[in-house]
């Protein structure tokens, strides 16, 4: 099995509505660190699991400097961002989304 990981930094805004009320219900921004993990039993015709440039084009190109509430089809919590990224990238099996230095959400396919 071959593995690759791409680390990206995304600057963007979002707001998150909750049942308990939170200051996060107001539009605010983060510099998210996103780690995209991909794997494949066989390399593609270019000798890669997934092209790092393709990962950046998909993730950075669609999320950076955007209001994530306008981009994602779900509430843009760190958990939903992780799942969305995983679904977008070929051969992706796991995504880590660091919303801040102390807050991490992980999505991993079964």
CATH number at residue 85: 3.30.479.10
For 25-34, how does the pLDDT look when each residue is reduced to its tens digit (9 = 90+)?
899 999 999 9
pLDDT score, position 18: 81
CA-to-CA dists, residue 83 to 7, 35, 44, 80, angstroms:
16, 12, 24, 5
Host domain of residue 41: 2-108
**Nearest residue to 16 via CA among 6, 8, 24:** 24
C-alpha–C-alpha distance, residues 24 and 97, integer Å: 17
pLDDT attached to residue 28: 93
- pLDDT at residue 49 in the model: 98
pLDDT at position 60 is 94
Tens-place pLDDT, residues 39-93: 999 999 999 999 999 999 999 999 999 999 999 999 999 999 999 999 999 999 9
Total tally of structural domains belonging to the chain: 1
């Amino acid at each position: 099995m071959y593995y690759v990981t791409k680390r990206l930094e995304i600057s963007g805004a979002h707001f998150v509505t909750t049942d308990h009320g939170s200051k996060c219900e107001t539009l605010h921004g983060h510099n998210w660190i996103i780690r995209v993990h991909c794997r494949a039993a066989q390399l593609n015709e270019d000798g890669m699991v997934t092209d790092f440039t393709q990962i950046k084009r998909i993730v950075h190109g669609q999320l950076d400097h955007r209001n994530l509430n306008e981009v994602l089809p779900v509430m843009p919590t760190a958990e939903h961002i992780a799942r969305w990224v995983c679904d977008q990238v070929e051969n992706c099996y796991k995504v880590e989304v660091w919303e801040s230095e102390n807050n991490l959400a992980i999505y991993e396919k079964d």
